[in-house]
Chain A
């Protein structure tokens, strides 16, 4: 009874906070100072049609490097913890039979989903999306393959290779920015090109593709490790 009352009181309190927030909220008539700066200068300085991408990859590129590092640490620790248990004996595992629809459908869908993921991160500087959604889309196609065939084995060597190479080149491009353009992860190490073209905005398409590959590889390695885990 008291538990319920406390839960209810908490809910009412949170509801009150949000109601007052909603009531007193007034949308800004103009962009604030920072947003105004980004809106004014992105096209000339960075050359990216998508301002969000320009902020994520160039203006706040260091934060994105940090995010990628966090994801990398998470996936390595998951791999470490799961590899402590011994590998399962695959023949002994009881599997729920997989339906025909899932098997056939996933074989048709997986390449298309991978293609969509690549499209999303290659066009990150032109259209919404970018490295993180693109990588997650690629990883979800891997998960679909795992769902249709739970005994499927992904090459860990290939996944780690893609992950390390893209991470290394990402940081190397950032350092190259210091040397050639004056600041870490500066995209002007390559020519900015025609605004709105696929190959434009300097190094942004390259960096975002690397981020996409890295995120996809990290999620895929987590899923592969989970799928090869022994039943508890």
Chain B
């Protein structure tokens, strides 16, 4: 492994750690979508790491399932949660804007 690749790998690892910490610790109004995107970013960067470690098959599966399918699934569940919350507010008579 050349020095350039080594440096790239270390940068990637740091980026993965930062994305993971962001996805756990993010706060505020839009924290859920940001956390989901950051978790997807972890998978995507991990798949790049697999590619550097010369296992393209694993990288592809990681990108398809970790980066694609589970991120979409989290957004899907988030939408369901929100529609459920809205219904709950209306049922209990709380005005919700």
Contact = CB atoms under 8 A, between A and B. Distances in A.
Contacts of B65: 132-133, 136
Contacts of A132: 61, 65
Interface stretch (B2-10, B17-25, B70-78): B70-78
A2 interface: no
A202 interface: no
Binding site secondary structure of chain B: helix
B27 interface: no
A132 B65 CA distance: 9
Interface stretch (A33-41, A72-80, A144-152, A193-201): A144-152
A139 B83 CA distance: 23
A143 interface: yes
Contacts of A136: 61, 64-65, 68-69
Contact of A144 (B59, B72, B82, B87): B72
A137 B61 CA distance: 9
Contacts, number: 69
A129 B60 contact: yes
A197 to B, nearest CB: 20
Binding site secondary structure of chain A: helix
Contacts of A219: 69
Interface stretch (A7-15, A89-97, A171-179): A89-97
A231 B61 contact: no
A164 interface: no
Contacts of A94: 83, 86-87, 90
Given A52-B57, A130-B57, A231-B87, A96 B82 contact: yes
A167 B68 CA distance: 25
Interface of A: 50, 52-53, 93-96, 120, 128-130, 132-134, 136-137, 139-140, 143-144, 146-147, 150, 219, 223, 226-227, 231-232
Interface of B: 56-57, 59-61, 63-65, 68-69, 72-73, 75-76, 79-80, 82-84, 86-87, 90
